[in-house]
Every structure is written in structure tokens, then in C-alpha cells.
Amino acid sequence: MRIMCLNGWGGTLHAALADYVGTERPDVLCLQEVIHCPDAPGDWLEYRDGDHVLPQRADFLGDVAAALPEHRAIFCPAARGMLWDGAAPVVSLWGLASFVHRDLVVVGQAQGFVHGSFAPDGFGDHPRSRNAHAMRLWDGAGFVTVAHMHGLRDLAGKMDTPARRDQAERFAALARGVAGEGDARVLCGDFNVGPESETLAILSRDGLTEQVTAHAEAGTRTSHYRKPMRFADYMLVNDAARVQDFRVVRSPEVSDHCPLLLTLRAA
């Protein structure tokens, strides 16, 4: 089973991303920063947060679904807020999505909030609400539980905080609640923390090993990210013997985050 984790940056690099995932066709794609606004007047909207302005694909969820026609899309909204079409505000949903190949059977799943709760009346101030999604999958030979989250953004930095400790505990509990005894387990996402963080220590308590740091990777950010901290994305696995391959994909650049790509051996 091939599992990809990626913060899609709202589809800012839509063409490259759609081409890449459509060619790579992972069995499971865990995608963060997903916009869903299919009734928008055009294909592009703009995200505005003070001086931070980014182009966003109006229906990024639909775009990726079209690139992966053999997959089922599960969208998990975290907030409902305004993007912009010129001077006109456009109500949009924002969250994360999981894409699962139709040959895999989803036998259990849960979504929930690891920080805050659903925000229906605007994206709000930072740190904003964040959610997670966990799935138990049957691949014809055994069970694999895959869970991902988008960790909260704190304007002060990526240091440990009580809120980040709480979100790690909630994420671990969500994944445990879906997994069955003996499952291969994969926890991943844009955690928004450094490699020495308390978050990784908490998630490792359940016998998981983090792959980015275990493979001595230099970071998970692309050239589109200008800040010095190069780590944000992680992937933890409970059974090292099942790991056939793990890569931080440096090229092509499809976001300001690198895709993480894990291949698990069959049970």
C-alpha cells in the first residue's frame, strides 16, 4: 500500500499538484489545506490574512478528485470563511481530505477536532480550529489504520505549547479509537512543529517511529517556503518491518510542502 501525505497549500500550485498526484496515484492520499467552494464564480479565489495573500483553487477538493478518478474523496471541513473574488467575498469551506482507492475497503473511520471546534462564521484569529481524520482500511490481506491532521499554527512559532500537547493527545486518541488490534498504523500530517517537539514524543508513545527524522531528512519544505525552519510534516509507523520505502519527495515541487510517500509491504 502506498500512502502519500501532503499539505496542498490550497492548490496554489494546482497544475503541478494535479499532474503529480494523477501520475503517482497513491492508494491513499492524506491532503491538508483543502478549499471547497464549487459554486465560486471562477476557478481561482484569493486568501487574505493581513499581508499574507495567496491564490487558492476555488474547488481544490474537486480538482484533486478529478485527478484521482479511481478514488473516493472524504472531505473534513474545519472552518467556513471568506475568500475573495476581487472585491467580492466568497464563502468557502476549508479543511482536510482523504482520498482512498476504490480497491480498499473503509471498515471504520472517525473525524474530530484536535484544537477548537468547527468555525462556521469565519476562519477566526490564530491559532485557528484544526481537525483530523482516521480510517481503518482492509487491503485484501490485512488492516491498515491511517490518520492525519493539520496541526495548529501559532504566530509565535513552532515551539511546544499546552495547546499543541492537547492536540497531540487528541490525535493519538482518535487514531487509537479507530485502529484494531494488530493493525499496521500510520499517523501523518502537517503538524506545524519542529523535529524535537513534544508532539512527536506523544505520538511515539504508542510504539510508532517517525520516518522523516529516522531517515535523517533535511526538512520537508520546498523552495516556495522562505522561512528558515524547514520541518513541518511527519509520518509515524508502528511496524518498521512493513516499511518497504519512505521518501520526502523533493521534485516536482507541488506546494510549499514536500509530499511524504510511504510504501508498506503486504501483511
Domain residue ranges in the chain: 2-264
C-alpha cell at 79: 472552518
DSSP string, 163-212: HHHHHHHHHHHHHHHHPPTT-EEEEEEE--S-TT-HHHHHHHTTS-EEHH
Candidates 262, 226, 251, 222; CA nearest to 19 is 251
Q: What is the dihedral angle through the alpha carbons of 33, 192, 83, 60, rounded to the nearest 10 degrees?
A: -10
How far apart CA 207 and CA 199 sit, in angstroms, is: 14
Distance CA 59, CA 239 (A): 36
Q: 113 near 95, Cβ under 8 Å?
A: no
For 78, 128, 173, 255, the CA distances from 112, given in Å and listed in that order, are 9, 14, 10, 25
Name the E strands within the chain.
Answer: 2-7, 28-36, 44-49, 52-57, 71-85, 88-101, 105-115, 130-138, 143-150, 184-190, 209-210, 233-237, 243-248, 260-264
**pLDDT (tens digit, 0 to 9) for every residue of the chain, 267 residues total?**
999 999 999 999 999 999 999 999 999 999 999 999 999 999 999 999 988 899 999 999 999 999 999 999 999 999 999 999 999 999 999 999 999 999 999 999 999 999 999 999 999 888 899 999 999 999 999 999 999 999 999 988 999 999 999 999 999 999 999 999 999 999 999 999 999 999 999 999 999 999 999 999 999 999 999 999 999 999 999 998 899 999 999 999 999 999 999 999 988
CB of 37 within 8 A of CB of 77?
no
Measured on CA atoms in the order 246, 251, 255, 257, is the torsion positive or negative? positive
Please give the model's pTM, rounded to 2 decimal places. Answer: 0.97
Question: Domain 2-264, what architecture?
Answer: 4-Layer Sandwich (3.60)
